[in-house]
Amino acid sequence: MRPNLDSLHEEILHYLESEHFVVFHCLSRGHEEREFILWDAQRNPDYKAFLDCALKLGIRLIHFHARDFRSHHREEALELLEQSDLSREEKRTLERRIEELAIYEGFTCAIEMSFDFENRVYLFEVQTEWYEEWHEILDELEESSPEGGGEGGYGGFYSNN
């Protein structure tokens, strides 16, 4: 997996333009209360095949969201870490993991494309390995929070940005 998705981001936008898709730049649709059909990007990582499905269905409108990793995400995680019920050693370990991700600030960490068809959202998403690690950190913070986390966890504060 690529350490960032910046070049893929540009490649996809260029392809969408060349194929005359209408691109709607939006926030993540992953939190909408709709029925989602997820593209298996692990086995079929070619975004062109996903877009070919849209074309065959007569769909030209593609919702596009590229997620960048920003310093304020780390800062918020560090604040949550301070409020956690973890031991001092566990906090240091988790703080080190959070700080190590600073090298990815400004990089694209996830790309999401989707289209609507017959009241369902068809969704293609790819993300970097380090972004997956980021979500593991957020899950740990959720589990160690004084409230014990909540439905949806801390991942939601980041995923729409």
How do the domains of the chain map onto residue ranges? Answer: 1-68+108-127, 70-105+130-161
pTM for the model stands at 0.82
As averages over each run of 10 residues, the pLDDT of the chain (161 residues) reads 82 98 95 90 95 98 96 90 91 94 94 96 95 91 76 44 42
Residue with tokens 């988790």: 94
Nearest CA-CA partner of 37 in 54, 60, 20, 19: 54
Terminal CA-to-CA distance of the chain, rounded, Å? 22
